[in-house]
Amino acid sequence: MITVDHLTKRYGSFTALDDVSFEARAGRVTGFLGPNGAGKTTAMRVVAGLTPASAGRATVLGRPYATLPNPGRHVGLLLDASAQHAGRTGREVLTLGAILTGVDRRRVDDLLDLVGLTEKEAGRRVRNYSLGMRQRLGIAHALLGDPEVLVLDEPANGLDPAGIRWMRGLLRGFAERGGTVLLSSHLLGEIERVADDIIVIGHGRIVASGTTGELLSGSGTVVRSGDDTALAAALTARSVAVTPTATGGLLVEAEPAEVGRWALAAGVALLELRSGDERGLEEMFLDLTAASAREEVAA
């Protein structure tokens, strides 16, 4: 179990995390989803005791990470796959990790096997690894201490489709045996296939959270019309919440049949009318991504 409680992180005048609270529960995979720069890595670094919080706190298994006795035995971390010593071989990285965590060195072979690194690859220096191989090594390292909790920052980066499917199976199995998994990604499709719960973060704030089923079933109606401005004004006049979507059209908090009737009353022709269903989350996410992209261009 990971608990993040009213966490704020400021870098000078910039607020990277703004009053962020969420839980990642045991026996579940929790997806931490947000566009580039949303604050995912910062939150995970605070959870792992690598970055101090400006306010609020994060606990793992009921206590701050730094106060866990032999944390590697409880929490497996993969925060930067390129952080391994480039001059060591994969096998050396894992053997050293085993010695430092007090794990039987024979576990190294089992883990190399589990993550699909061959004997030959394990004997190569990490500087010659592809990103996918580094991720596999990073996952093996995270699993060394047979932890109850995994915190993985973008673990699918650099993995090929077969590797992504393999990792999904591994994380699902870990959670099914009672483990807690928190994994981040900037790709909705990747998260929705593996996560039981999803937390969406944008600009340092949680913008949505819930079970994957809840978030994907979504609510509301996606509508495109001949005159979205007039339709939005007509709906707003009825006190119905309307949000323009990044992909064009409106996301309306009402049932499709109602939206159709109101559009008719307002004399606006409809081009598309459908239940928000899983597109609701996708469009909210695209909105977040589009907003960040605009800011980057403006900066």
Q: How far is the CB of 59 from ligand ATP (least distance, A)?
A: 19
Amino acid sitting at position 17: L
Q: How far is the CB of 52 from ligand ATP (least distance, A)?
A: 11
The residues that touch ligand ATP, with contacts defined as CB under 6 A, are 11, 14, 16, 34, 36-42, 186
DSSP per-residue string spanning 109-156: HHHHHHHT--HHHHTSBGGG--HHHHHHHHHHHHHTT--SEEEEESTT
Q: Which is nearer to ligand ATP, 37 or 244 (CB)?
A: 37
Asked if 122 and 109 touch (Cβ cutoff 8 Å), the reply is no
Distance in Å from the first CA to the final CA of the chain: 38
Give the residue among 161, 120, 121, 153 at the shortest CA–CA distance from 137. Answer: 121
- How does DSSP classify residue 26? T
- Residue whose CB is less far from ligand ATP, 74 or 205: 205
Contact 81, 157 (CB under 8 A): yes
Rounded CA-CA distance 67/72 in Å is 12
Cβ 128 to ligand ATP, closest distance in Å?
25
Query: Which CB atom, from 163 or from 204, has the smaller least distance to ligand ATP?
Result: 204
Shortest distance, CB of residue 237 to ligand ATP, whole angstroms?
Answer: 38
Whose structure tokens read 């809840």? 214
